[in-house]
Structure 1
Amino acid sequence: MTQHLHSKRLPGPGAGKVLGAVLGLVAALSLGAVGQARAAAPASAPAPVPSGADRFSDQPHGFASLAGGTTGGAGGKVVTVTDQASLAKYAAAEDPYIIRVSGSIAVEPFGSNIIVGSNKTIIGVGDSGEIVHGELHLDPGTHNVIIRNLTIRDSYVEGDWDGKTQDFDAIQMDTVDHVWIDHNRLTHMGDGLIDLRKDSQYITVSYNQFSNHNKAFGIGWTTNVKTQVTIDHNWFTGTKQRNPSADNCAYAHLYNNYLSAQVSDGDPVWTYGNWSRGHTKMVIENSYYDGVQHPYQADATAELVQRGSILKNTTGRTDEWGAAFDPRRFYDYRLDPAAAVPALVTRFSGPQKRIGVTLHVPGDYPTVQAAVDAVPDGNTAPVTVAVAPGTYRAKVYIPATRPNIVLQGTGHDRSDTVIVYDTPAEYGGSTGSATVRIAANDVTARNLTFSNDFDEAAVELNGEQALAMKTTGDRIVFENTAFLGNQDTLMTDSPKLTTVSRVYIRDSYIEGDVDFVYGRATTVIERSVIRLLSRGSTTNNGYLTAASTWTGNPYGFLITRSKVVSDAPEQSFHLGRPWHPGGEPAAVAQVLIRDTELPAAVRSSPWTDMSGFSWKDARFAEYRTYGPGAGVTADRPQMSDADARTHTVADYLKGHDNWAPYSRR
């Protein structure tokens, strides 16, 4: 922008920073008791039931989290595959990859293997990613693999119920380490659903559905006692045996699993639930067995400790002998009550729409920009860039080719995670000064602070614009964010004058002095705090808005249900002025401030001219503003009740696609 007044930053450290409580929603389950017999009571009361969000964590738990952990393809590129050739290419590649399976991939020839190399994440997009007629196969020596949110199904050969003709597993592993298999649906395959074989180590199998199968999940095929495996919150239904069978495991920890609707074919021996075989040490906790023959059993050479499980309509063996081991010596975990397991596991196991790709900064990626660069062009499914608490002094650019990104600060408060730089417009133009630029559509930022800390008081320049944020994309959301700066703090724009982009800001904080909320995008600021900084003047400290709305767009800026605060002198701040970039006559500001508290710093004539364009020709209005800075005068246009009914948050944002981000809480 041009023709901005010289401004002085309010002195003092941390000026303008507002601390706000972080509001969170905690999911709770109300689960009543059912009529059933309880096995031996646990030694202590179970830990609280974790929320639904905890059950979709992208971080592995149990044995897969030990000895360096399991990160899969973290640090590598994100790719989306829709065909067998692409899946096979990236799965077997030497480099790390996060491979998203979109839709159904039918593998040919029937029953063929997809070889999965080390350092890979294979994850379904939404709940519809699936591999049909094929096996994910991990050769000896493979390590660090995550398989999540997939359906793998239907390689069963008719008449081969025992899997003797074709070895068509869903997932087969030989002598591997650090593998996490989570939230998958495995059904109706040729031999095993999971074959975990030959000295594999540091494995976690969680929240999967095993169904419509004979030999569900076998572990062993070795005389060595090396495997360490955590098996939790899985649903075995319509299966006959190996639920699981664990042979010669050093440690097998099974908890909160649900076994139901077991196949009943009259087999007195090979129809069973869990089996501790060979020299396995097995611990079972708070699981639920409904209609299961031989719920849990152990060889005389093995050990099995069971605590707190529920048996309903069961028959046969419930062996318990030996000391086994204490899982808490190895890792922490939270037990759900056994009575809650059927409801929890049926609800949360298997593929879930809300599970997506998360890129962690730092750790997986050294910088925010590196994580953004890992997202593929034309990205169609949300990718979360999770930014750990800290101050990141760097610029970030999300290009138009990389939509569907979520920037998520992971600290307790938005002030914990700060992205900041100090470039003024003098050294790159107003766009070049922006600490963060978002040109892509469908980007969300949460729990972050964006700042441009250029010290305009220390340097004399012709232009002192220094943007914290500039957006040109459509459907941009900021939740619980802060924007810190002075002149031109936040620019919400569009690619060109006649293109309408929409931005929704809620529960946030914005500070500045000259034109610090400006641009031509349709922008809603709701339930937020806006601070007008003082430049030390007793008469003119600046302007809140400088809209440049296209005349063909009835909706520019809406500030609603918010609070404007300031320690600037009374009658020294304008609510806005009309910005016509380059003298463009078709850019006619539209600004409505409604249901918002205004401070005494706001002038009684709050709108003013700019660059020869009269404010009276713009579309400025207030509606039900209040506080010491509110009032009704000849120079304060008030919107009528009738017009206010068509100037709501929904009206500003809905567009042609009925976008409604405010409805998602």
Structure 2
Amino acid sequence: MTVVAALLAALLSAPGAVARAQGPAPGAGATTWTDKPDGFAALAGGTTGGAGGKVVTVRTQQDLTAYASAPDPYIIRIAGSIDVDPFGSDIVVTSNKTLIGVGSTAEIVHGELHLNPGTHNVIIRNLTIRDSYVEGDWDGKTQDFDAIQMDSVHHVWIDHNTFTRMGDGLLDIRKDSDYVTVSWNVFKDHNKAFGLGWTDNVTTNITLHHNWFTGIKQRSPSIDNAAHAHLYNNYLSAQYRDEDPVWTYGNWSRGRTKMVIENSYYDGIRNPYQADETAELVQRGSIARDTTGRHDTQGEAFDPRDFYPYRLDPAAAVPALVKRFSGPQSGLGTDTVLRVAADGSGDFRTVQAAVNAVPAGNDGRITIAIAPGTYREQVRVPADKPRLTFLGTGRDRGDTVIVYDTPAEYGGSTGSATVLIAASDVTARHLTFVNDFDEAAHELNGEQALAMKTTGDRIVFTDTAFKGNQDTLMTDSPKLTTISRVYLRDSYIEGDVDFIYGRATTVIERSTIKALSRGSDSNNGYITAASTWKGNPYGFLITRSRIVSDAPDQTFHLGRPWHPGGEPDAIAQVLIRDTWLPAAIKNSPWTDMGGFPWQEARFSEYRTTGPGAAPSADRPRMTDADAAGHEVADYLAGSDGWAPQTQ
């Protein structure tokens, strides 16, 4: 294997090796991409698009036109193919917008995205824009049907798109536009691909990197009167050739442009890079294979690192990288990130504001990334906002805390909960949820005060903490006969009375549960209060975990059967399995509740250990045969094969 081949193999095989500002996130594989630009679009306040606005999904020209031209910020997810009518029509994009295709199949056909003068802060990503070409008009003189045209705009990021067979140019950046980055796009099968200028002013600052120009005759790109044009790691191949030697070229530094080209790859290109007498062009590190004509360099241009940091890929690796990762990606647009930071550095200052930005009926994964800090608020996730991920971005789950102090006397369990998740398919990671209601300060005792209540299905908590006293964590379902499933792993739960309760099928794995002392020398509380529907064989499973306590020996129960409102069909099922128990656990660990004897519930232990696991006639043990049907997968699989424990 040659040195170049070995280098290329290493680049494409090492996890996260191709990571960069618009490349896969380190260690995340090739389908996870950042949503922040680099290059000039990141300067002078940056380009954030529709961040801070609502997220919408559009499938029709009518909806795309309405949201793209609206005065408010929007993150517009484009799903499927939108055929623009009349042929060649403009879709106007106003300021503070993100247009992003959902996966690799979103496209705009026969139409143009148009940014009028004064437009700013726009992101266009992960789209194919194609086919407004008028047969016989190779020079684009009949109709001005570009893929994207912008005029006197600033702060625009064009990323991971494919542009092909349009009526004039593919990308047209006009008249003093500024702070633009064009990255990871495919320009193909066209005459005039990409032009910039149409002004006497030397204004534009633009970065182009990791773009693939293939089957293009000219303008790959042509840049006129740009203050600074930084082109790196671009790939030009399969150039369209005719008998015109002058107007067949790759990069052209025109007018008074200062252009820097680095580590690009030119394969079979006529006039790969050239400059006017008045322009400057510095080229370093590129590979020109089977090229002819002009290879101009003149002047000193500028040093891009005086403006921003960046990382160059080796020129030899560029063709493989760009072929693999340019254009629309299946992993883009499927996960929208909304950032929360109390100091105002994110898209929203509160978690609830981010939830409010999620559209009803959300059909794409939306991550609400929460910066370290304490957020004193109640958060409500309604049932019509599924597929959310709440992600604390600190180094430790204790760095990001959502806390409130409402007791149940103000609206019961629903009104009390610091966080209420009624939606399905919700995940929370690296967070702490707290209800810090102070019973003593209010001269109350035994008052419910929930840190978390869930009623949705397929809820996952990993590396999370739940802190409170009575009724800390309630995992429930919309009604008795509806089965909802909740999975907790590597988490921490503390409380005293019934602090893990409800009727949802709930698995707690590899976690720590702390039973808090209430100061009694006889009864300090109850860990569980399940209300499982009698038709559901699976209630609570606590497995491979550790229960700890600061309560005196023999003063805590493992649980009691909860029959809400005296409901006879709520027959608790709880299994404590492969879990360490402290001395605080009573030898008779289950007890009655509300007149219902614990013996009629489905309580059992299996292979519990520790000083609190002493044998007793009053603690049922599950047999090996029954335990074989009470594994984590049995509790969670349901009819859809849900298996969060494998992820």
What TM-score results when the alignment is normalised by the length of structure 2?
0.91
Letter matched to residue 553 of structure 2: E
What is the aligned partner in structure 1 of residue 25 from structure 2?
53
Structure 2 distance, partners of 1:218, 1:332, is: 26
- How far apart are the structure 1 equivalents of 2:504 and 2:269? 61
Tell me how far apart the structure 2 counterparts of residues 215 and 644 of structure 1 sit (CA, whole Å): 69
Among 176, 179, 191, the alignment partner of 1:214 is 191
Find 2:205's aligned residue among 228, 252, 260. 228
Question: One-letter code of the match for 1:588?
Answer: I
The match for 1:557 is 540
Q: Match of 2:191, SS?
A: strand
Q: 2:336 aligns with which of 351, 357, 361?
A: 357
Is the Cα–Cα contact under 8 Å of residues 120 and 146 in structure 1 kept in the other structure? yes
Shift of 1:486: 1.4
Which residues of 2 match residues 496-511 of structure 1 at below 5 A? 496-511=479-494
- 1:464 maps to 447
Match of 1:598 among 576, 581, 597: 581
After superposition, what is the alpha-carbon deviation per residue over 1:569-599, rounded to whole angstroms, capped at 9, x for unaligned? 3333222211111111111111222233333
- For 1:517 and 1:217, how far apart are their aligned partners in 2? 61
Match of 1:656 in 2: 639
Does the CA contact (< 8 Å) of 2:423 and 2:456 recur in 1?
Answer: yes
SS in 2 for 1:412: coil
1:63 aligned residue: 40
Partners of 1:282 and 1:594 in 2: how far apart? 67
Q: Are the aligned partners of 2:406 and 2:437 in contact in 1 as well (CA < 8 Å)?
A: yes
Where structure 2 has 5 or more consecutive residues not aligned to the other structure, the ranges are 9-16, 27-31
Worse overlay, 174-183 or 521-530: 521-530
Q: Which of the numbers 190, 213, 231 marks the counterpart of 2:167?
A: 190
Alignment partners' CA distance in 1, 2:506 and 2:188: 49
Q: Which residue of 2 aligns with 1:372?
A: 355
SS in 1 for 2:150: strand
* 1:628 alignment partner, one of 611, 630, 642: 611
Asked whether 1:203 is paired with 2:171, we answer no
**Which protein, 1 or 2, shows the higher relative CO under an 8 Å CA cutoff with sep ≥ 6?**
1
- Mapped contact 2:24–2:34 kept (Cα < 8 A): no
* Count of residues in correspondence between the two structures: 626
Equivalent-residue separation in structure 1 for 2:494 and 2:268 (angstroms): 63
- Cα shift at 1:631: 4.5
Match of residue 232, structure 2, among 226, 250, 255: 255
Percent of aligned positions that are identical? 74
- Structure 2 Cα separation of the partners of residues 658 and 133 of structure 1: 42
Q: Distance in 2 between matches of 1:261 and 1:593?
A: 66
Cα pair 1:36 1:312 within 8 Å, conserved: no
Find the partner of 1:129 among 102, 106, 131: 106
Structure 1 residue matching 2:613: 3-state secondary structure: coil
The 1:662–1:341 alpha-carbon spacing in structure 2 relative to 1, beyond 3 Å, is farther
- The whole-number CA distance in structure 2 between the counterparts of 1:404 and 1:161 is 46
Partners of 2:507 and 2:7 in 1: how far apart? 54
Aligned in 2, Cα 1:617/1:144: closer, same or farther, shift over 3 Å? same
Is the contact between residue 183 and residue 349 of structure 1 (CA under 8 Å) also seen in structure 2?
A: yes
Match of 2:14 in 1: none
RMSD: 2.4
Classify the secondary structure of the residue corresponding to 1:515: strand
Unaligned runs of 5+ in 1: 1-30, 38-46
Partner of 1:34 in structure 2?
5
Aligned residue for 1:25? none
Letter in 2 for 1:184: N
Q: How does 1:317-466 map to 2 (within 5 A)?
A: 317-355=294-332, 356-362=335-341, 363-461=346-444, 463-466=446-449
Kindly indicate whether the alpha-carbon contact (under 8 Å) linking 1:400 and 1:439 is maintained by their aligned counterparts in 2: yes
Structure-1-length-normalised TM-score: 0.89
Aligned partner of 2:591 in structure 1 is: 608
Cα shift at 1:539: 3.2
1:663 Cα deviation (Å)?
3.1
**How far off its partner does 1:429 sit?**
1.8
Equivalences for 1:521-540 in 2 at 5 Å? 521-540=504-523
Work out the CA distance in 2 between the residues paired with 1:555 and 1:344.
49
- Matched residue, 2:265: 288
Choose the corresponding residue for 2:77, options 77, 96, 100.
100
User: 1:271: Cα distance to partner?
Assistant: 3.0
Q: Distance in 2 between matches of 1:399 and 1:108?
A: 37
Of stretches 54-63 and 214-223 in structure 1, the one that deviates more from structure 2 is 54-63
Structure 1 pair 601–180 and aligned structure 2 pair: CA distance change class (3 A): same
Q: Conserved in 1, the CA contact under 8 Å of 2:439 and 2:445? A: no
Aligned equivalents of 2:607, 2:322: Cα separation in 1: 50
